Structure 1
């Protein structure tokens, strides 16, 4: 599968509307997600994975509290394939485009994707999407990151 298409799936998994409970935190993450909303995802009301049809616009919003601070957070959305994290090459990685800056440890923040089109070229199937943000300063610890994963289905 094309890396661009696979990475774009991550956008689609996370949005603003139906609260999602069936996501998992990435290993070693240093944050808590207090709410995750995906729009549209009516399946979440029944505790099921989100299912999307190509051609839709999807949005993702979530609230978080980190254990780290950052003046210059970086972010990316990934498709997880086995043990590989495939980043979206077209995403702007400036975390301040999606959340208020600076990020302060222990203070709730909100992350917004806006509407993301689900392109028709994405193959049908089940995927694991991941959103990750981290402290982007030159000497930051690689441990200072916030990350979660969500399984989605493309119809």
Structure 2
């Protein structure tokens, strides 16, 4: 009985520590999605730089977990995800290896006014140039074109 209690206590501690290890980062909502979606919070693991409101140092050859809470102001049976380098307001270089099926990483269908979380692991490939980037996330209803969108800064490092 004592052993089971110790095991449960250890498991609870691991779950608690795992849930607080994600760092909340600064982000900007895309102008065209302000009325169609609310982004509550964006998290990157690891990102100790978030405490200083700085761009996350993302290491090549490692996987980074990114998650965010969003409330769509539209209904959709399925969604598509995009992630890319926002070179300008109108130009984006997409991450081609990104799985576009949003429903694998959050609950579908989505309903207007219902907050949910999207979480995925993003592998940072060795070929990514060492540089700062503004990246743009998008989750879009392929039927209506309505989307949730935001940008945040990262810095790819060794």
**TM-score interval for Structure 1 and Structure 2 normalised by the shorter chain:** 0.7 to 0.9
CA distance in 1, matches of 2:98, 2:131: 23
Q: Pick from 124, 129, 133 the counterpart of residue 123 of structure 1.
A: 129
CA distance in 1, matches of 2:129, 2:94: 18
- Residues 125-150 of structure 1, C-alpha deviation per residue, up to 9 Å, x if partnerless? 1111111011122xx1x3x1100001
| Aligned residue number for residue 110 of structure 1 | 117
SS in 2 for 1:129: strand
CA distance in 1, matches of 2:149, 2:95: 15
Number of equivalent positions: 134
Q: Structure 2 regions of 5+ residues with no counterpart? A: 1-20
Q: Structure 1 regions of 5+ residues with no counterpart? A: 1-15
Q: State the TM-score, normalized to the length of structure 1.
A: 0.80
State the 1:105 CA deviation: 0.6
Moved more, 36-45 or 82-91: 82-91
| Aligned residue number for residue 28 of structure 2 | 24
Q: Which has the higher contact order (CA 8 A, sep 6+)?
A: 1
Q: State the TM-score, normalized to the length of structure 2.
A: 0.79
CA distance in 2, matches of 1:136, 1:94: 11
**Matches for 1:70-89 after TM superposition, within 5 Å:** 70-82=76-88, 83-89=90-96
SS in 2 for 1:146: strand
SS in 1 for 2:31: coil
Aligned structure 1 segments of 4 or more residues deviating by more than 6 angstroms:
none
Q: Pick from 42, 48, 51 the counterpart of residue 45 of structure 1.
A: 51
State the 1:101 CA deviation: 0.3
- Residues 102-131 of structure 1, C-alpha deviation per residue, up to 9 Å, x if partnerless? 111101111011x32222211111111111
| Aligned residue number for residue 70 of structure 2 | 64
